Amino acid sequence: RKEVEQDPGPFNVPEGATVAFNCTYSNSASQSFFWYRQDCRKEPKLLMSVYSSGNEDGRFTAQLNRASQYISLLIRDSKLSDSATYLCPGDFTGGGNKLTFGTGTQLKVEL
C-alpha cells in the first residue's frame, strides 16, 4: 500500500461550487502534512500547512484526522483559477527531511 493515497480525479465542478478532497496515509509515524497545488508542467506551490487543529486560509480549509489517518482540503466558491492538481505530501521522517507525495488530485473548474 502506498504511504500517501489520493483519488486522481479529475473532479469537474462548476464555478462557485464547493469541493473537497481527501488524502489518506498509511504511515502512523506521520509528522507533518501540507497541501501543494501544481499547475500543468509547473512546480508544486505551497497552498497551506495542515495543523492538527485545522486551519483556514480564505476559501481554503484544511483538516487533519490522525486517528483515521487522513487529511482533507475544502475549497469554497471555486474559481476557474483553482483548476490544478492538488498534492498532499506528508513528512514521515520528522524534521522536514523528506516529503512523500501521492499522485495528486486533478481539479477542473468549469463555467
Q: Is the peptide bond before 10 cis (omega within 30 degrees of 0)?
A: yes
CA dihedral sign of residues 66, 44, 102, 11: positive
CB of 24 to another protein, least distance (A): 14
Q: Which is nearer to another protein, 4 or 62 (CB)?
A: 4
Whether 89 and 101 have beta carbons less than 8 Å apart is answered as yes
Q: Does 87 bind another protein (CB under 8 A)?
A: yes
Q: Does 23 bind another protein (CB under 8 A)?
A: no
- DSSP string for residues in 58-104: TTEEEEEETTTTEEEEEE-S--GGG-EEEE--EE-SSTT---B----
Integer Cα distance of 20 and 91 in angstroms: 22
Binding region for another protein (CB under 8 A) out of 14-22, 50-58, 76-84, 95-103: 95-103
Binding characters for another protein, 37-66, by CB under 8 A (x = yes): ----xxxxxx--x-----------------
Q: Which is nearer to another protein, 19 or 47 (CB)?
A: 47
The binding site for another protein (CB under 8 A) comprises: 4, 34, 36, 41-46, 49, 87, 89, 93, 95-104
